[in-house]
Amino acid sequence: MSVAFHGKSGDPEGDGWNLMASENRSSYGWLSRRSVCWIGAAVVCFGLLLLTMILVANNTSAINQWDMKYNNLVHEITKSRDNLSQDRDQLKIHYSNLTQEMGMLLNKYNAMVISRDMLQKEVNRLNLNKTEKSCFQGWKKFNNKCYYVSPAGVTKTWSDSRRDCQARGADLVIITTIAELNFVKKSYGVTWTGLSLNKATNTWKWVDGTELADDGFWQEGEPNNMSGDEDCVEVSRDASALNDVPCSRKFSWICED
């Protein structure tokens, strides 16, 4: 310690007193500064502790909020998953029901196809029977038509021959093809046909009212009305063609159904 003396040596009231006072002052000043340091350090520590607690509290609150949001999110996701699972199960049930219905409809469709095919076969059979015309006993069949040929040796006028056919539910034959003409001429030497002259229109007409098409199947030079009343038509075996003759003549005849 450095001491400065400003008085004489041995002066009890001089620097000796001052030295004591100086030491006492130095001791008390050092103690005061140390206390301040400890107090400051304590304040700083307390501040840091408080700051740490605030930060921890804030972080804890934030974590709690995040946990709540997370839990809510997990809950919503879980709920959505469960709903989707229920929807999936319902779709599975619906799909299974649709599959069963489709199977039933397929069976019904197959049954309908079988029934349709059977009906079609029956229709074809009926149509075949319908096209295959059946003829009464004693009648002849040609090209799916039925013909009644008058008895051998029996002859009638054109009008009487027609009345006989009509009584049988038919009429005198209408010749529309060469094949039919050849069929008719085979029966007898001369045979009445259903062709006659309509004097009102001066046209040759069949018994069904249709006119003779084109030139018909006339013999060469016919019709010539040679006798003046040749209004009915016959077909002869030798000529193989039509010829006009008087209606009062008597020949065999053929009816067509």
pLDDT of residue 54: 76
Nearest to 90 by CA among 78, 102, 82: 82
Question: Kind of pairing, strands 252-256 and 190-198?
Answer: parallel
Nearest to 255 by CA among 142, 86, 111, 153: 142
What residue spans of 132-224 are helical by DSSP H?
158-167, 178-185
Q: Is 193 exposed, middle or buried (0-12, 13-18, 19+ CB in 10 A)?
A: buried
* Amino acid (1-letter code) at residue 185: K
At residue 44's C-alpha, the angle toward residues 55 and 34, to 5°, is: 165
Distance CA 229, CA 242 (A): 16
pLDDT cut 70: percent of the chain above it: 82
pTM: 0.51
At residue 194's C-alpha, the angle toward residues 191 and 200, to 5°, is: 130
Q: Please check the confidence at residue 209 and state whether its pLDDT lies above 90.
A: yes
Q: Where are the beta strands (DSSP E) in 179-231?
A: 190-198, 203-206
pLDDT of residue 27: 47
Average the pLDDT over 87-95 and give the result: 92
> pLDDT category, 5, cuts 50, 70, 90?
very low
Location of structure tokens 């098409």 = 213
What would the CATH number be for the domain defined by 140-256?
Answer: 3.10.100.10
pLDDT of residue 168: 96
pLDDT of residue 1: 40
